Chains A and B, each alone.
Chain A
Amino acid sequence: AQTVTQSQPEMSVQEAETVTLSCTYDTSESNYYLFWYKQPPSRQMILVIRQEAYKQQNATENRFSVNFQKAAKSFSLKISDSQLGDTAMYFCALGAGGGNKLTFGTGTQLKVEL
C-alpha cells in the first residue's frame, strides 16, 4: 500500500517571499512518480510539477521546484517569489503500483499575504 503524508494543514507567506511545503511518502515499489497539484478556490486540480523517482535531478517549473530526497522518502515543494495567485490548496501525490493510480496527501492550504 502507498501512503502520502502532508503534515502542514495550513501555511502562510508574504508576497515575494519563498515558502516550502513538506511531503513524505511510503511505497515498496521501485518505480514511481511524484506530483504536486494546486487547487485554487475554483476547485480545479492543476498540475504544478512532476518528478520521476529514477531521476536524481530535482524537477523545476519556473518559480516552483522540488527537493526530492529518495532515501528519506521526502518530496517538498519550494515556491519562490510567492504571488497572490499562488493562494491555493496544494496536494502531494504518489503514482505507484499497477495502472496509473494516484495516492494523495491531505493537502496544505497556502495563503499568500500582502
Chain B
Amino acid sequence: EAQVTQNPRYLITVTGKKLTVTCSQNMNHEYMSWYRQDPGLGLRQIYYSMNVEVTDKGDVPEGYKVSRKEKRNFPLILESPSPNQTSLYFCASSLSRQGGTQYFGPGTRLLVL
C-alpha cells in the first residue's frame, strides 16, 4: 500500500530536549516536505527536499532542521524545542514535477512544556 508514515504520532516533551520526528514514504517520490498546522493559520511549510541531499527552507524554518540521506526518509529535527513549536506536524511527498499531488502522512501532534 502506497503511504507516508510518521513516528511518533503523539509526543509530549519539555523545553530544550532534542527530538526527531521520522517520515518515510514508499512511493519513490523525489519531493518531500514538512508542514505545521496551527489553529487559524492553516498549514505552513517548514522545509522541503527536492531529492537526496537537496533541502531548502520553507516559510517557517526557524528552530527546525532536516536531512535527506535516503530518498524514502525525511526526518524533522528539533534541536531545542520551545513551547511555540507545539503544533500538529505533517510530512508530505510527491513526484517532483510542479503540481504533483502531495500525499500526506497521518500527522504528529507535539506538545512542548
Contact = CB atoms under 8 A, between A and B. Distances in A.
Interface of A: 4, 31-33, 35, 37, 42-45, 47, 50, 52, 91, 93, 95-96, 99-107
Contacts of B45: 101-103
Contacts of B106: 42-44
Interface of B: 31, 33, 35, 40-45, 48, 50, 56, 58, 88, 90, 92, 94, 96-104, 106-107, 109
Contacts, number: 68
Contact of B33 (A96, A100, A107): A100
Interface class of chain A by DSSP: strand
Contacts of B56: 99
B52 to A, nearest CB: 15
A99 B50 contact: yes
A50 B101 contact: yes
Contacts of B31: 99-100
A99 B48 contact: yes
Given A52-B99, A91-B42, A100-B33, A44 B58 contact: no
Nearest to A29: B98
A107 B42 contact: yes
A45 B43 CA distance: 11
A90 B97 CA distance: 24
